[in-house]
Chains A and B, each alone.
Chain A
Amino acid sequence: MTLLSSVTGRLTAAALTLSFAAPVLAQETPQAGGVANVAIQPEPPGLMLPLVQNAPTQRVAGNIFESLLRYSTDLEPMPQLAETWEISDDGLTYTFHLHPDVKWHDGEAFSSADVVFSADVFLRQTNPRTRVILDHVESIEAPDDNTVVFTLKEPFPAFIQAFEVGTMPMVPKHIYEGTDFYNNPANNHPVGTGPFEFAKWDRGSVIELDKNPDYYEDGKPYLDKIYWHVIPDAASRAAAYENGTLDIMPAGSVENFDIPRLSEMDGSCMTESGNEYFNPFAMLWLNNREGPTADKRFRQAVMYAIDRDFAKNVLWNGLGEVPNGPFNSTLASHDDDLEQYPYDPDKAEALLDEMGYDGEPVRLLPLPYGETWTRWGEAVRQNLEDVGINIETESSDVAGWNQKISDWDYDIAFTYLFQYGDPSLGIARTYMSSNIAKGSPWNNVEGYANPKVDELFAKAAVENDSEKRQAMYDEVQQILHDDVPLAWIMELAQPTIYRCNVHDLITTGIGLSDGFKNAWIEQQ
C-alpha cells in the first residue's frame, strides 16, 4: 500500500466512524439487555481477586467484587460501596458511610463488619501491596452497621487512593472468617457484591458472568450476561473480533500492528481512557551497582541514545507518551517543567568519551512478553550500538527474566511498572533504598541509594499540606532526572477496541478492570 492510499484509507475510515457516531450522540438513555463478548488474554489463574492479583483476574473479577470507592479518569474518588466519606482536617481519620441496601451474591447482607474483616484480617494476610498501605493504619472500627472509621498513625494523603477494587476488594466475612483463605471452596465460586455474579468457567474456553438481579443501584447493570472468551492466539483473537464473535478487545488482547486495522473497521471504536490509575510505565533497569551502568554519565548517555519517539511511533503505533522523568505525566504531582532528554546520539557519545567507556560488553535483557517487546529490545540494542556501546542480548522466558532481575544478575533490563495513582503507592518503591532486597523483580532492583531521595519520598508520603508535598516531589523529580537511576522509556497506552454500539464501557480510571456496571448495548 502506498503512503497516499493508506492516508486516504484512514480518512475514509475516520469519516465512516464519524457518520456512525452521529446517531450515537442522539441516543443517550441506557437500554437494558444484551450480552457482551469480551476477549480475556491470558486466561486468569483464578477469579478470587482478594487472593490473586494478576491483571486478567481483575479484568473479570472487577465485575464480581467491589471496594468502597471508584476513581474517575482524573483519579478523583467516587462513591461505590461507600456513599459518602469524610477525612478529618488533621488527615488522621477517614470515615466511610456505607450504602445501606447492599447484599452479597448469596443473599446475605453486606455490612461494616465485612469491611473491617476484609481490610484488617483478610487483605493484611493475602495482599502484600495492601499490607504496606495498611501499615499506616492504627485501627479500623465499625461504630454501627453502615459506618467504618480508619484511624491512621500519621497523615498519609495517598490513603484515599487505596480503595480501588484490586487493592481493597471486599470479602464476605460470613464465608471466610476462621477458614483457610487459600483453600476455601468459595474461591472456585467467588461471592462479591458487584453488578455481575459468577456463573460458569469452562477452563481454556469461556468464563460466564450473569447479571446480579438484586444490585443496589437502580436499573444497573444493563447487560444480561458477560462472556469472557479465552483465545490464546493473537491472530485468532483478531479474526474473532472481525467476524463478530467478540465485541470488546481489552488492552493487550490486540497486537500493536493489528490496532489500526481493527480500530478502523466499520462500527469499531477505540479509546485510551481507563488507564489513568495503573498507568503502566515502561523502563530499563540499569544496574547501579557494577559495570559501566554504575556510572551516572553512562546512564545519562543511555537516555540520550535511545530514540523513544521511534519506539512510540513504530512499535506502539503512536500511542503512549514519552516521559520526561520518573513520574507519569498523568499524575497530579508530575513536574511538567522537567527538561526532556532528547534523542541526541552525539551527546551520548560525548558522555561515553568523557567517562572513558572502553567498549566493555553490556548485557541487555528484553522483556519476554511477546512480539512488540522483542522488537523493542532490538531497537534499543541498535540505538545503543550506534553510539558505540557493546551490547550482548540475552534471551529468557518469563521465569528466567523474573529470576535474573530478582538476583540482580543483569546490566540493562526491560520492565514495566504500575503507578497506582500516587507517587507514594507506585513510584517511591522503585527508588527508596529501604526497598532494596534480593528476591523480588518489583522493588528497588537497580540498587539506587540516595539519602536525600529517601528522605524526600518518606516525608512527602506523610505530608498533609499539598503545596509542601508538591515542593518535595518537584525536588525529588529533579534529582532523579539528573541521576537517571533507570531509563524511563514510555508511558504505555492501553487502548480498548470495541463496537461503537457498546456505550459507557469505560467510565473510571481503572477502565475495564472496574467492571461493566454502566455499560449498555444500543439495540439496532
Chain B
Amino acid sequence: MSFCKRFAQNRGALVGLVILGLVVLLALLAPFLYPDSPWRMVQRPFLAPGEVSGFWLGTDVMGRDVAAGLAHGAWVSLLIGLISTVVALAIGVPLGALAGYFGGRIDDALMRFTEFFQTIPNFALAIVLVAIMEPSTFSIVLAIAIVSWPPVARLVRGEFLSIKHREYVEAARLVGQTHRDIIIKQILPNTMSPVIVLASLMVATAILLESSLSFLGLGDPDTMSWGYMIGAARTVMRQAWWLSVIPGVAILLTVLALNLVGEGLDDALNPQLARAR
C-alpha cells in the first residue's frame, strides 16, 4: 500500500490536512487580502462581527480589523511554529544521534545535559528566556527551540541504539565507512519516520507556546499574532467576547489539525503499528 493511501485511510488525518491547508492558504493570501498593516485603525472600535459590511469579524478595542489580524496572525503563527521546530530539530537530532551512536561517556554526558533541560518546566523556561533577551521574533523562536529539543534528542538516541547493531550497519562498518557516513547515510534515514511524526506535533506545541507568550505580553510587539489578539481582548471579555473567541478558535483548529495530521503520518509511516490497532 502506498504512503498516500495509508494516510488517507485515517479520516481524521484528512480533515486535519484540509484545515491545515486552509490555514496555510489564509497565511499565504494575507498580504493580498489585507495589504494594509493589521495594526491600522480602520473603523470604530468594538464592532461586532458583521455589524458593518467589509468587517465580517468585527473590529477590536482600537478599531483594527479582526479578520486582517487573523490572516496576518496565521502567517506569524505558522512561521514561528515551523522555524522553531526546525531549529529544535537542528539541535536535538545531532545530539541524539551522537549519544546513541557512540554510547558510553559521550552518551552519558549528552543525556545528562539533555535531562538538565528536561527538569525545568518548558513554559517557565521559555518565559525566562524571552524576558532576558527582550521579546522579538528571534528571541521567541530561539526560546521555543531551546525548550523543545530534548524529546527529539531522546527519541533519536533511542532509534540509534536499536539500529546501530543491525546487520547492514555492521556491514557498512566492515567495508570501512567513516562514522560520519554511517550516521548520516545508513542510520539517520531509518530514524526519520518517528521524527517526522514528532515534528508535526512539535509545530503544534510551538504555536501554542508562541500564543501563550504573546498572551502574557511577551510577544514581539511589532508582529500581530493570535496570542496577542487574545491577550489584548482578555480584559474586555465582558464587552466583546468575540475578540478573544475568534483567535482562540483559530488556534484550536490549527493545533487540532496538526495533531490529526501527525496521527495520520504515524499511521502511514508505521504500517505495522497501524494494522495492529
Chain B positions 213-234 with a Cβ under 8 Å from a chain A Cβ: 217-218, 221-222, 232
**What total of chain B residues lie within 8 Å of the partner, measured CB to CB?**
22
Contact with A371, one of B44, B48, B134, B235 (Cβ below 8 angstroms):
B235
Bound-state Cα–Cα, A315 to B51, Å: 21
Chain B positions 44-98 with a Cβ under 8 Å from a chain A Cβ: 44-45, 48, 51, 61-63
Known: A257-B236, A385-B37. A2 touches B51 (CB 8 A): yes
Contact with A394, one of B37, B221, B235 (Cβ below 8 angstroms):
B221
- Interface check A139, CB cutoff 8 A: no
Min CB gap B253→A, angstroms: 26
- What residues on A are CB-neighbors of B135 within 8 Å? 395
Binds B, one of A176-184, A290-298, A375-383: A375-383
From DSSP, what is the main secondary structure of chain A's interface residues?
Answer: helix
Contact with A378, one of B39, B235, B238 (Cβ below 8 angstroms):
B39
Bound-state Cα–Cα, A2 to B47, Å: 8
From DSSP, what is the main secondary structure of chain B's interface residues?
Answer: loop
Bound-state Cα–Cα, A468 to B41, Å: 46
Known: A2-B51, A314-B63, A374-B217. A396 touches B134 (CB 8 A): yes
Min CB gap A323→B, angstroms: 21
- Interface check A255, CB cutoff 8 A: yes
Q: Look across to chain B and name the residue whose beta carbon is closest to the beta carbon of A364.
A: B221
Contact with B41, one of A1, A261, A310 (Cβ below 8 angstroms):
A310
* CB-based contact A315/B39 at 8 Å: no
Bound-state Cα–Cα, A393 to B44, Å: 25
- Interface check B112, CB cutoff 8 A: no
* CB-based contact B62/A377 at 8 Å: no
* CB-based contact B62/A395 at 8 Å: no
Known: A378-B62, A382-B40. A314 touches B45 (CB 8 A): yes
Bound-state Cα–Cα, A386 to B36, Å: 10
- Interface check A458, CB cutoff 8 A: no
- What residues on A are CB-neighbors of B236 within 8 Å? 257
Bound-state Cα–Cα, A509 to B222, Å: 40
* CB-based contact B41/A382 at 8 Å: yes
* CB-based contact A234/B221 at 8 Å: no
- What residues on B are CB-neighbors of A2 within 8 Å? 51
* CB-based contact A379/B41 at 8 Å: yes
Contact with A375, one of B51, B62, B218 (Cβ below 8 angstroms):
B62
- Interface check B239, CB cutoff 8 A: yes
Q: Which of A2, A257, A375 has the most CB of B within 10 A?
A: A257
* CB-based contact A395/B134 at 8 Å: yes
* CB-based contact B235/A392 at 8 Å: no
- Interface check A11, CB cutoff 8 A: no
* CB-based contact B232/A375 at 8 Å: yes
- Interface check A355, CB cutoff 8 A: no
- What residues on A are CB-neighbors of B222 within 8 Å? 381, 391-393
Q: Look across to chain B and name the residue whose beta carbon is closest to the beta carbon of A393.
A: B221
Chain A positions 347-388 with a Cβ under 8 Å from a chain B Cβ: 366, 371, 374-375, 377-379, 381-382, 385-386
Bound-state Cα–Cα, A385 to B135, Å: 20
* CB-based contact B62/A315 at 8 Å: yes
Q: Look across to chain B and name the residue whose beta carbon is closest to the beta carbon of A375.
A: B62
- What residues on B are CB-neighbors of A386 within 8 Å? 40
- What residues on A are CB-neighbors of B41 within 8 Å? 310, 314, 379, 382
Min CB gap B270→A, angstroms: 44
* CB-based contact A395/B61 at 8 Å: no
Bound-state Cα–Cα, A374 to B37, Å: 18
* CB-based contact B134/A257 at 8 Å: no
Min CB gap B92→A, angstroms: 29
Min CB gap A370→B, angstroms: 9
Bound-state Cα–Cα, A310 to B235, Å: 20
Bound-state Cα–Cα, A343 to B87, Å: 45
Contact with B39, one of A235, A257, A314, A382 (Cβ below 8 angstroms):
A382
Min CB gap A95→B, angstroms: 53
* CB-based contact B221/A395 at 8 Å: yes
* CB-based contact A235/B235 at 8 Å: yes
- What residues on A are CB-neighbors of B221 within 8 Å? 366, 377-378, 393-395
Bound-state Cα–Cα, A19 to B141, Å: 58
Min CB gap B246→A, angstroms: 17
Min CB gap A400→B, angstroms: 8
* CB-based contact A375/B40 at 8 Å: no
Bound-state Cα–Cα, A211 to B222, Å: 52
Min CB gap B130→A, angstroms: 10
- What residues on A are CB-neighbors of B44 within 8 Å? 3
Contact with B235, one of A257, A381, A393, A395 (Cβ below 8 angstroms):
A257
- What residues on A are CB-neighbors of B232 within 8 Å? 371, 374-375
Known: A2-B51, A395-B221. A379 touches B134 (CB 8 A): no
Bound-state Cα–Cα, A343 to B82, Å: 41
What sequence of 0s and 1s flags, for each residue 194-220 of chain B, a beta carbon within 8 Å of any chain A beta carbon? 000000000000000000000001100
What sequence of 0s and 1s flags, for each residue 120-139 of chain B, a beta carbon within 8 Å of any chain A beta carbon? 00000000000000110000
- What residues on A are CB-neighbors of B238 within 8 Å? 261
* CB-based contact A257/B239 at 8 Å: yes
Bound-state Cα–Cα, A310 to B51, Å: 21
- What residues on B are CB-neighbors of A366 within 8 Å? 221
- What residues on B are CB-neighbors of A392 within 8 Å? 222
Min CB gap A411→B, angstroms: 15
- What residues on B are CB-neighbors of A382 within 8 Å? 37, 39-41
Chain B positions 171-199 with a Cβ under 8 Å from a chain A Cβ: none
Bound-state Cα–Cα, A378 to B221, Å: 8
Sample of 10 A–B contacts (CB below 8 Å): A234-B235, A257-B61, A366-B221, A378-B62, A379-B41, A382-B39, A392-B222, A393-B221, A394-B134, A396-B134
The 10 tightest CB contacts between A and B, nearest first, are: A393-B221, A382-B39, A395-B221, A395-B135, A393-B222, A257-B236, A314-B45, A375-B62, A382-B40, A371-B235
Where the two chains meet, the residues of A that have a C-beta atom closer than 8 Å to any C-beta of B are: 1-3, 234-235, 255, 257, 261, 310, 314-315, 366, 371, 374-375, 377-379, 381-382, 385-386, 391-396
17 more A-B residue pairs beyond the given contacts A314-B61, A379-B62, with a C-beta to C-beta distance below 8 A: A2-B51, A257-B235, A310-B41, A314-B41, A314-B63, A315-B62, A371-B232, A375-B61, A377-B221, A381-B222, A382-B37, A382-B41, A385-B39, A391-B222, A393-B222, A394-B221, A395-B218
